[in-house]
Structure 1
Amino acid sequence: MLEEQNIKLPERDGVNFEVWPEAIELGRMFADEGYELSLVGGPVRDLLLHRRSHDLDFCTSARPEEFEPILRRFGHDGFWDMGRKFGTLGAMRRRPDGTEVKVEVTTYRSDTYDPDSRKPEVAYGDSLEGDLSRRDFTVNAMALRVPDLEFVDPFGGANDLQKQVLRTPIDPYQSFDDDPLRMMRAVRFVAQLGFHIAPETAEALSDMTDRISIVSAERVRDELTKILLSERPSQGISTLVESGLADLVFPEIPALQLEIDEHHRHKDVFGHTLMVIDRAVALETGEDGPVPAPDLTLRLAALMHDIGKPKTRKFEPGGKVSFHHHDSVGARMTRKRLKALRFDHHLIEDVTELVNLHLRFHGYVDEPWTDAAVRRYVKDAGHLYERLNRLTRADATTQNKRKALVFAHAMDEMEDRVRELKKKEDFDAIRPDLNGDEIMQELGIAPGPAVGKAYKHMLEYRLDNGPVDHETAVAELHRWYEESQE
């Protein structure tokens, strides 16, 4: 691990072998025009961790209008300038093997926040060291000058990387005041890299959590998403709560820290939730499976499945504790919170439905369902069926081995039955045995609410009884309609 500052890497150094040829080429193009260029941030950190990346970040002494022609020449297969107002331009090229290499180049700069503003103000800088001093953490404040491959580490980032510690290059209070989102990023690096936050940095973070309120919901959402999609999402969520940030960005989660009664008659809901997240992650599949990892929908559902418990907790006679209807209450809370965080509408609906259905299977354990009930479960779960089963399995965290085996056996049995039933009929295509036109023709009624009610009844009949012949379906329709008119 490199620990010295401004090291000139030997040509055949092990790290040098991993430097991207595109970075060297782009460095020469900038040098030919008289500009400095350095690889910075994550790519340098990953280089020292022996990780590969195809998205390369650079900073330069040139202004955007000066280096735009260079970047357009470099980027044979793409160019973008959405970040121009922040001093950033990007380009992309494809290697002969089809691999895409994306680069983004930013003028030396400083990002600061007006105390009452949600958006950063951009000021150009004039040196690499000055630019590095304004970055979030020392492990991201290292650079590699190209094409000369001079390693620049003015704040000891390589040493912190080796110790797996997060520190800010400047005073943490000033750093978090300049960009409050850095507090969320600290949590994200805990989840992504398994690092710990240095004591003085953690203290500043906890003292300044209120500052996160000026950051837009979209930016907070993006960091939360990265935390959940990381290798250690439960560790990230735990850190988010411990820091106090969750009280502001996701208050339903720290609210799960319910006091445990002295007889331990109910679970620590927060600890249980962290366990469910880990178990859900373990149940994700490979790319060819039904729930490819990492799956944001499943992980969000695991995080939120019990958020209705604090509002529904009731102390029953005999010292028991109940949480009746926490599934439906939690579903409403889930929709509200995810909307506030500006998540995608379809994702919100899916996660909300998973929270609403997460207790649905439990009745099967006590008394196996009829085929009709199994059909209804699959139909109601729809495209969420595989995720719902994984959430249900993850939620079964009992330490009682006998109960755990009974539950797992019941879930296995139900899934086997679904596979057998699907061999006989396509659950995704289940429709009533009579369509809307046939219903109107049989009953002699015009389009309207009555047709919809009849259609819904016939769908319920189809789910309860499976497919029936036309004559039987017609008889059931008339029977239901006559009763509904009484």
Structure 2
Amino acid sequence: MNYKQALQNPIFKIISQASKNLNLDSYVIGGFVRDFILKRGNAKDIDVVAIGSGIALAKEVSNLLPNKPKVQVFKTYGTAMLRYDDIEIEFVGARKESYNEDSRNPVVENGSLEDDQNRRDFTINALALNLSEDNFGDLLDPFNGIKDLENKIIRTPLNPDITYSDDPLRMMRAIRFATQLDFKIENQSLKAITRNNKRIKIITNERIVVELNKILESPTPSIGFLLLEETGLLQYILPELTALKGIDEIEGQRHKDNFYHTLEVVDNIAKHTDNVWLRWAALLHDIGKAPTKKFSNKVGWTFHGHEFEGSKMVFHLFKRLKMPLNEKMKYVQKLVFMSSRPIVLAQDIVTDSAVRRLLFDAGDYVEDLMTLCEADITTKNPKKFKKYHNNFKIVRDKLVEVEEKDSVRNFQPPVSGEEIMETFNIKPSREVGLIKEAIKEAILEGDIPNEHQAAFSLMLEKGAALGLKKV
């Protein structure tokens, strides 16, 4: 392979010239090189290592560029960053690192390119391309990273126990890369992750969530979650999921393994949406089943109220992992809470009133809710699979029909509380709430159309029944 092709962007010649001006060597290293070899598209992030000051190199590159882009300096880490077109370029001086047991933040010293490649997490991320004038585009591959790319292997450059113990986030990164690239983690490396899994406790939840999101955003997220479970990491990160694992049997009655079912649902939904929060909803839709699982002699295993329990657990999980406690969390909560509603509809005769209530309760989330419920079909029986999907198509068609006719999505009552108070000359009170609820129920049941005149007439009728007089 001609690696110079990777360096066709004019920025690399400019970095080469800047390096010459400063009399230092520089190399592009890591993900940019890896992704070029894997033909993964145009990278938006480039890492450059200087044998010397990365900050000085960044400033010299900026001076050589026509628009003199701003250089962001991070003195604590000895790094600098600038933007060129739509690319972020990070510059760092070659370094060697040493760690203490309680932190993933290393003690850093200046080092050689060899030192810098030794500290890289995986052989496929230690590949470097020379940017010097004389050897421009030469590949430096001290750990046979090219061979590991060909064989689709994730391997650490040095002893994996040291690599993972020094920076336990690398365990998550190994699993994330295996998931994104559909690679295998080399056996000794996989065993080392299991041996060091408790070390994940020193990693901040924010960093863990970044890796979880990348696993969820992969084409087949189950690869990552199965590896997290196999290595014992999942019990420290998402114990709500590991609690779903296993099948209990009493009096010959068994329930399905809800952990593996969940991973099937996540893979199913990944085929239909890139929305990471909808994928989170799929991952968490059954977490309420572990605490609500009961056995009854009459009906066997039950999980009554697991949707309500699960929606409460979503809040605690987001809070623990320091995920956003905003509309994203509420979105996931709502989908978990409503995750069985369309399924019930699809099993029964689909009435207009039931569809109105689904539209009213789900609002703008109704399409995502249907996508989640269709992903929840994991039966291996072809007849059942076809039947369930046909039933959901009936529900989808009914949703469109009822919404066009009754406009109940994000429902706003045709008669406001202010109009009720003006009509009967009353102040805010229990009676206002009762009248508004009666109008809403009548519209959802189809007793009256979603129109002002019909709602106003019902308001007068309900007001009279409550002893109120129109003024």
- For 1:399-438, list aligned pairs within 5 A: 399-428=380-409, 430-438=411-419
The TM-score normalised by the length of structure 1 is 0.88
Q: Which has the higher mean CA deviation after the structures are superposed, 78-87 or 210-219?
A: 78-87
Change (3 A) 1:361 1:409: same
Residue 380 (structure 1) aligns with: 361
Amino acid of the structure 1 residue aligned with 2:63: R
Give the distance between the partners of 2:40 and 2:68, measured in 1 at CA.
25
Residue 291 (structure 1) aligns with: none
Residue 70 (structure 2) aligns with: 79
Give the superposition deviation at 1:260: 4.8
2:172 maps to 1:178:
no
Q: Helix, strand or coil for the counterpart of 2:102? A: coil
Amino acid of the structure 1 residue aligned with 2:312: R
Amino acid of the structure 2 residue aligned with 1:72: S
Could you tell me the percent identity over the aligned residues?
Answer: 32
Residue 7 (structure 1) aligns with: none
For the 8 Å contact 2:130–2:139, the answer to whether it is kept is: yes
Residue 54 (structure 1) aligns with: 44
Amino acid of the structure 1 residue aligned with 2:116: D
Q: Helix, strand or coil for the counterpart of 2:317? A: helix
The one of 424, 435, 458 equivalent to 1:476 is 458
Give the superposition deviation at 1:63: 2.3
Q: Helix, strand or coil for the counterpart of 1:321? A: strand
Q: Helix, strand or coil for the counterpart of 1:354? A: helix
The one of 186, 189, 208 equivalent to 1:220 is 208
For the 8 Å contact 2:253–2:301, the answer to whether it is kept is: no
**Aligned Cα root-mean-square deviation (Å):** 2.4
Give the distance between the partners of 2:53 and 2:391, measured in 1 at CA.
64
Give the distance between the partners of 1:66 and 1:104, measured in 2 at CA.
12
Change (3 A) 1:60 1:449: farther
Change (3 A) 1:318 1:463: closer
The TM-score normalised by the length of structure 2 is 0.90
Give the distance between the partners of 2:319 and 2:7, measured in 1 at CA.
42
Residue 4 (structure 1) aligns with: none
Alignment length (residue pairs) = 459
Q: Helix, strand or coil for the counterpart of 1:253? A: helix
Unaligned runs of 5+ in 1: 1-12, 95-99, 285-293
| CA displacement, residues 370-407 of structure 1 (integer Å, 9 cap, x when unaligned) | 22221221221122111110110011112233332332
For the 8 Å contact 1:241–1:253, the answer to whether it is kept is: no
Q: Helix, strand or coil for the counterpart of 2:208? A: helix
For the 8 Å contact 1:61–1:127, the answer to whether it is kept is: yes
- For 1:25-64, list aligned pairs within 5 A: 25-52=14-41, 53-64=43-54
The one of 88, 91, 99 equivalent to 1:102 is 88
Change (3 A) 1:143 1:432: same
Give the distance between the partners of 1:20 and 1:83, measured in 2 at CA.
28
For the 8 Å contact 2:58–2:82, the answer to whether it is kept is: no
Amino acid of the structure 2 residue aligned with 1:250: L
Q: Helix, strand or coil for the counterpart of 1:218? A: helix
Give the distance between the partners of 2:186 and 2:157, measured in 1 at CA.
12
Residue 320 (structure 1) aligns with: 300
- For 1:320-359, list aligned pairs within 5 A: 320-344=300-324, 345-359=326-340
2:449 maps to 1:467:
yes
Unaligned runs of 5+ in 2: none
- For 1:383-394, list aligned pairs within 5 A: 383-394=364-375
Change (3 A) 1:112 1:326: farther
- For 1:248-397, list aligned pairs within 5 A: 248-261=236-249, 265-284=254-273, 294-317=274-297, 320-344=300-324, 345-397=326-378
- For 1:107-146, list aligned pairs within 5 A: 107-110=93-96, 113-117=99-103, 120-146=105-131
